Amino acid sequence: MGRDCPGLSSIGQVDEANVRQKYVLGVERHLFGTWRIVEMDLWDLDAIELVGPALMEVSTDGHGQFAFIAVQGQLDWKPDSCSTGERIAFTWEGDDEGDRVSGRGWASVDDADHLIGHIYFHLGDDSGFRAVRQPEA
């Protein structure tokens, strides 16, 4: 059989209540907040901030949002219980200059307290990213 992943029921389905409770109780609290995207694999900083600051927000309710270049997306995240280390996996949908777009991705916090991850566009580009925490106002 496959590898043993915490949070999976006996038939291989994620026990979301168990995993979400563990998450919100503090295992991944350092992920929550607003992050400024400062680097992406495919685009330079001028492109990333074409229409404004490139940001990703991860909320405690399992949602979030991001914006870079002319792309805006809404996140639906879950703990990635089968990863090595602590990270979230997400799906997203939004728009890119008025066109509906969607995809998936993941994010985690590295040892330097940067949010790192990867965003995939359905049937399109994908790019790694690095972000720094935005100070709370």
From the centroid of its chain, how far is CA 98? 22
Specify the amino acid at residue 7.
G
Q: Looking at the domain assignment, is residue 37 inside a domain?
A: yes
Residue-level pLDDT at 12 = 52
pLDDT tens digits for 71-92?
A: 999 999 988 876 655 788 999 9
Q: Looking at the domain assignment, is residue 44 inside a domain?
A: yes
Residue-level pLDDT at 26 = 41
Give the position of tokens 């940001």: 55
Q: List, in sequence order, every residue forming a beta bridge with 114; answer none if it has no partner.
A: 132
Buried/exposed code over 114-135 (b: 16+ C-beta within 10 A; e: otherwise): bbbbebbbeeeeebebbbeeee
Give the position of tokens 């940067």: 114
Q: Looking at the domain assignment, is residue 119 inside a domain?
A: yes
CA distance 60 to 27: 12
Assign residue 111 the CATH number of its domain. 2.40.128
Q: Looking at the domain assignment, is residue 11 inside a domain?
A: no
Q: Looking at the domain assignment, is residue 108 inside a domain?
A: yes
pLDDT tens digits for 12-59?
A: 555 555 555 555 544 467 888 999 999 999 999 999 999 999 999 999
Q: In this structure, what DSSP letter does residue 8 have?
A: B
Assess contact for 3 and 82: CB atoms under 8 A: yes
Domain count, the chain: 1
> In terms of Cα–Cα distance, which of 49, 7, 39, 45 is closest to 114?
39
Q: Looking at the domain assignment, is residue 58 inside a domain?
A: yes
Residue-level pLDDT at 13 = 55
User: Is the pLDDT confidence value at 11 over 60?
Assistant: no
Q: Looking at the domain assignment, is residue 47 inside a domain?
A: yes
CA distance 43 to 57: 20
Q: Which domain holds residue 38?
A: 30-133
User: Is the pLDDT confidence value at 98 over 60?
Assistant: yes
pTM: 0.79
Q: Looking at the domain assignment, is residue 2 inside a domain?
A: no
pLDDT tens digits for 102-113?
A: 999 999 999 899
User: Which range, 59-63, 70-74, 132-136, has the best average confidence (pLDDT)?
Assistant: 70-74
Pick the more confident residue, 116 or 26. 116
